[in-house]
Structure 1
Amino acid sequence: MTASFARSPLLIAPWISLRLAMVAFVLAVSAVLAGCAGLPSAVQRTPSQARTDVTDTRLATVAAASMPERDEALSGLRLLPAGEQAFEARIALARAAEKSIDAQYYQIADDASGLQFLRTLAEAAGRGVRVRLLVDDLHAIGQDTLLAGLAARSNVELRMFNPLPVRNGGVASRVVFSLHEFSRINRRMHNKLFVADNAFAVTGGRNIADEYFDRSGPDNFIDMDILAAGAAVQALSTVFDGYWNSEQAYPIQSLVDAALTPEAARRAFDQAAQLAGAAELPPASRDLLGQTSVGTQLATGRLQLHLAAVRVLADAPVKAPMADGAVMNGKLELLQSARSEVLVASPYFVPGRRTMEILKQATDSQVRVAVMTNSLATTDEPLVHAGYARYRTALLDMGVSLYELMPGAVPARAVAGEVHGSLGRLHAKLAVVDGRRFYIGSLNMDRRSAHLNTEMGLIVDSPELAGQLASLLRGERQPRSYQVRSAGGSKNLQWVAQGGDAPVVLAREPNSRWSTQMRLALLSSLIDEELL
């Protein structure tokens, strides 16, 4: 399952619900085929907490050495802009762990990256490391045997977040046949977190799948993670414990077919894990910021980190419906504090009334505001793009600069044509304010992230790291994005592509056909913006 379908299935049920005859049919079929399918009621969840007896571990020693002027209130941080190095960081930390690994992800794909990640966790457990893995259930299609096989190993516990009662079939069929527990469908854990020995953590926008780590041919995501040591790690571990011990987390053993024995599951896992052995690829020697890999620096006993104050934001496992969660509130408060400049990057940008008001206040106060998101040519969610497109004219009228990512490495003379095989899709969720403070995490600037998904992220006060992020965002903008502008004061728009001897100005949305526009207009009129 690729990320291209990461959100679309969640729109199926609401779309159907607007067509009454089909609703009746689907519910009838669901009742017949799903029968009394439901989740187990008497589930044993043994509570556990993050390990604190870790000061004698190698990773704790490296963390201390990496923060020689340590202030207990500060954290040591390093950006991970390159996909291959972000993956290597997780693997290197897992291999160095001695006592514990805690991880939670929206998606762990059954591909080379996902299998290598799971195999590395199994190897750590074999060394005596306690492994706790929490996975959102929606996209764990056909993975019950694989995940149960990992959980069958000593020192491993694996739980599924908010599982659907129907275990078989694809995402769409699982959603349809779980309509009798409708409230579960749109309540997804979108968090991304990896913690090793409670000494280092990696969080940000990346799931565990090939396309997040530059291993998926031409179609990869442009994303950003951050590695942390110090105070932020303890706060992130507390967040993990809250999710792990919540009633929404079900041990995988309580969900799998009773006929699947632990021995059979483990054999299946071992067979799949063997296939991941040939998938390892060494990262580039240095990333876009000139940094060597985390594994390379771990070998020296010290990581190059920036000291900064960090605020950890996290939604509760049970999120209040139809209200902005803690992460959205924190991010909007950050934007509202701007005095000179706001840079926002979000793959899905459907701002809504409150965000629009905050951006209008900023531009009225002479704050420069720039937003980068995907173009129709690069988005993996055209419906969400249609929701964003409704706001473009209003954003431009209030003085916001809009940039939409171009298909990668396209010559300027070719941008007017329809381009396939994009070399990059924006997936990073970032906001940089006044060149000093920034947000990084899992939250998109849309209603789904604000009201439905659980999210997490960091707000960091660091001019050095904020400068790095700002330079990367500006570097991606030209020539690899279209600047959207109003045409002659009307509602007509233009897309300007820099490159070559002169800018290329397009009067029609790139990669847009009339049939596509009509289909998106119809579907978007049937789907509530809250679900985009």
Structure 2
Amino acid sequence: MTAWIKHLSLRRVRAMGIATLALVLLGWCAMLTACASLPAEVERPVSVARTDVDHTRLAALAAEAVPADASRRSGLRLLPAGDQAFEARIALAHAAERSIDVQYYQIADDASGREFLAALCEAAGRGVRVRVLVDDLQAAGQDALLAGFAARPNVELRLFNPLPVREGSVGGRVLFSAHEFSRINRRMHNKLFIADSSFAIIGGRNIGDDYFGRSGPVNFIDMDVLSAGPVVHELAAVFDAYWNSRHAYPIEALASPTATPATGRRNFDDHVRAAGATGRRPVTARDPLDQSSVGDQLAAGHVALHPAAVRVLADPPRKIDEDTAAQADGPVMEGQLALMQAAHSDVLIASPYFVPGRRTLDVLQRATGEQVRVSLITNSLATTDEPLAHFGYARYRTALLDMGVALYELMPDDGDAHEAADGPRGSLGRLHAKLAVVDGRWLSIGSMNMDRRSAHSNTEMGLVVDSAELAGQVASLLQRDHQAQSYQVRSLGAGNRLQWVSQGGAQEIVHQAEPSLTWGTRLRLSLLSRLIDEEFL
């Protein structure tokens, strides 16, 4: 039992903390006697990305936006502002004529999630084929909603790597599915949206209010990229591999069959209307890069993209099958480390959760030893939504500083709402973007955090982009909006003591102890860290 408790940790689920560990003791006997299971026989009709899109408007706009040259370059633009990132997805859904393919770790049951699903329903009503693939972990309590959505003509929805227990909270479902822990610990963390096999959006955002600047004072700071050209066909092939995987279960095979499709559709419509999720929300005219919205550009008949060579990094769905303890880094982590290892002058990393492990440390050590400037922006204890992951990162701070890495930890805002790269936000912005800029030329963007969970347990995807212009835009946003609003962590050398330094106007403000770390928090995290292996942070 002790070994099992040690591994009771999933991204987000690890936040259950002491309360969940107490529930383990109460539920252990029940789990041994009443183990749920997944259906043995499931029909999964095979389907692939639509190719009959040449005469669609989106295909024509994509072709106009991407130069036709021998280098097979794609076209890309960054989506730093949360409101515009959401609007881009909705605008593409409204413009689609043949197909929409969607793959996310989470589609929240909130205003943004419902508006997003409503836009997909509207597209399906026009005859657009809609395929939605979502990881099952965060879909707790959504079976009826998602089944009602999938009851629409032209809509299919599959849940990836589902938990056998269908009812209850995320924590409860994990608790009572613990007899299959080695499987359910591995999650599909990918984020992808494709319209008419012509435009794709990939990055760090899930679908939910806090990813698009809609959740009041607490929002995630994130980044996506819109793409067209050859890269979209590669991303579509990645989606197809996951969609046709044996780990993707049609919602009909999992949800309770008590309601008819007609009843499910009515319930879904009522749910969406009750949430007021059918109206269009205002979008800022220009984002922090002075770009107009994707919707406005689609309406004007021209989407402005930067040409660039792009490489797709994607973990295969079979990563779910492999033994975490024996597994090497996945292809996405391998690609990220190779990019950093090839650096000649500088590396700038933004990662909300940074638990590097020995291999990443070795890569950074070689880089700094070759006079490469390495900077890391991550969350502080005050801004992280995963304090246990922050505690795992804290173990490496002294080693990182000793090898010459510059560490910046995002500070909480001063309480006044203001405009930032992710759009308007108030008292607490939490870093969620997963970015790296190398030598001012290479940009890495996607779903992967620089931690052991992303390397070994989750499936991830991302892009490596050869573009000094896009790399420069990301570096400028990180340094202007986030590095400048961060504590710089400094080492005092003796006794591994650290300082957290911020700017108060022209004066430095020096903190001799970690901001927001109380003795109670330190004790709680220290105790929990003894129970949870670093592989699961």
TM-score by length of 1: 0.93
Q: Which residue of 1 aligns with 2:109?
A: 110
Conserved? CA contact 2:112–2:277, under 8 Å: no
**How far does residue 228 in structure 1 lie from its aligned partner after superposition?**
0.4
**How far does residue 278 in structure 1 lie from its aligned partner after superposition?**
5.4
**How far does residue 183 in structure 1 lie from its aligned partner after superposition?**
2.0
Cα deviation 1:326-371 (Å, max 9, x = unaligned): 1000001000000000000000000000000000000000000000
Q: 5+ residue gaps in structure 2?
A: 1-8, 417-425
Aligned residue type for 1:238:
A
Cα distance in 2 for residues equivalent to 1:526 and 1:205: 29
Q: Which residue of 2 aligns with 1:416?
A: none
* Residues 253-268 of structure 1 aligned to structure 2 (within 5 Å): 253-268=252-267
Corresponding position: 1:438 with 2:443? yes
Q: Which residue of 1 aligns with 2:285?
A: 285
Q: Which residue of 1 aligns with 2:400?
A: 395
Conserved? CA contact 2:202–2:225, under 8 Å: yes
**How far does residue 147 in structure 1 lie from its aligned partner after superposition?**
0.6
**How far does residue 29 in structure 1 lie from its aligned partner after superposition?**
1.2
* Residues 305-454 of structure 1 aligned to structure 2 (within 5 Å): 305-319=305-319, 320=322, 321=324, 322-409=327-414, 422-454=427-459
Cα distance in 2 for residues equivalent to 1:291 and 1:232: 22
Query: Closer, same or farther in 2 for the Cα pair 1:243/1:14, shift >3 Å?
Result: farther
Cα distance in 2 for residues equivalent to 1:57 and 1:14: 54
262-271 or 436-445, larger mean C-alpha shift: 262-271
439-448 or 317-326, larger mean C-alpha shift: 317-326
Q: Which residue of 2 aligns with 1:53?
A: 52
**How far does residue 68 in structure 1 lie from its aligned partner after superposition?**
3.8
Query: Closer, same or farther in 2 for the Cα pair 1:349/1:422, shift >3 Å?
Result: farther
Aligned residue type for 1:299:
A
Corresponding position: 1:27 with 2:28? yes
Aligned residue type for 1:199:
S
Conserved? CA contact 2:415–2:428, under 8 Å: no
Identity %: 64
Q: Which residue of 2 aligns with 1:192?
A: 191
2:400 is paired with a residue of what secondary structure? helix
Q: Which residue of 1 aligns with 2:298?
A: 298
Cα distance in 2 for residues equivalent to 1:281 and 1:11: 32
* Residues 263-278 of structure 1 aligned to structure 2 (within 5 Å): 263-274=262-273, 275-277=275-277
Q: Which residue of 2 aligns with 1:227?
A: 226
Aligned residue type for 1:29:
A
* RMSD, aligned CA: 2.0
Q: Which residue of 1 aligns with 2:535?
A: 530
**How far does residue 258 in structure 1 lie from its aligned partner after superposition?**
2.1
Conserved? CA contact 1:112–1:279, under 8 Å: no
Corresponding position: 1:514 with 2:519? yes
Aligned residue type for 2:410:
L
Q: 5+ residue gaps in structure 1?
A: 412-420
Q: Which residue of 1 aligns with 2:479?
A: 474
Q: After TM superposition, what 4+ stretches of structure 1 lie above 4 angstroms from structure 2?
A: 10-17, 22-25, 69-72
467-476 or 260-269, larger mean C-alpha shift: 260-269
Q: Which residue of 1 aligns with 2:4?
A: none
Aligned residue type for 1:154:
P
Conserved? CA contact 1:119–1:273, under 8 Å: yes
TM-score by length of 2: 0.92
Q: Which residue of 2 aligns with 1:244?
A: 243
* Residues 66-81 of structure 1 aligned to structure 2 (within 5 Å): 66-71=65-70, 73-81=72-80
Cα distance in 2 for residues equivalent to 1:311 and 1:263: 44
Cα distance in 2 for residues equivalent to 1:295 and 1:6: 36
2:393 is paired with a residue of what secondary structure? helix
Aligned residue type for 2:31:
S
Conserved? CA contact 2:35–2:179, under 8 Å: no
257-266 or 293-302, larger mean C-alpha shift: 257-266
Pick the aligned partner of 1:485 from 467, 478, 490. Answer: 490
Q: Which residue of 2 aligns with 1:175?
A: 174
**How far does residue 422 in structure 1 lie from its aligned partner after superposition?**
3.8
Cα distance in 2 for residues equivalent to 1:326 and 1:27: 37
Cα deviation 1:119-148 (Å, max 9, x = unaligned): 000000000000000010011111111110
Query: Closer, same or farther in 2 for the Cα pair 1:102/1:278, shift >3 Å?
Result: closer
1:503 is paired with a residue of what secondary structure? strand
**How far does residue 376 in structure 1 lie from its aligned partner after superposition?**
0.3
**How far does residue 72 in structure 1 lie from its aligned partner after superposition?**
6.2
Cα distance in 2 for residues equivalent to 1:367 and 1:68: 34
Aligned residue type for 2:302:
R
2:285 is paired with a residue of what secondary structure? coil
**How far does residue 302 in structure 1 lie from its aligned partner after superposition?**
1.2
Conserved? CA contact 1:375–1:404, under 8 Å: yes
**How far does residue 521 in structure 1 lie from its aligned partner after superposition?**
0.9
1:285 is paired with a residue of what secondary structure? coil
Query: Closer, same or farther in 2 for the Cα pair 1:70/1:281, shift >3 Å?
Result: farther
Conserved? CA contact 1:479–1:499, under 8 Å: no
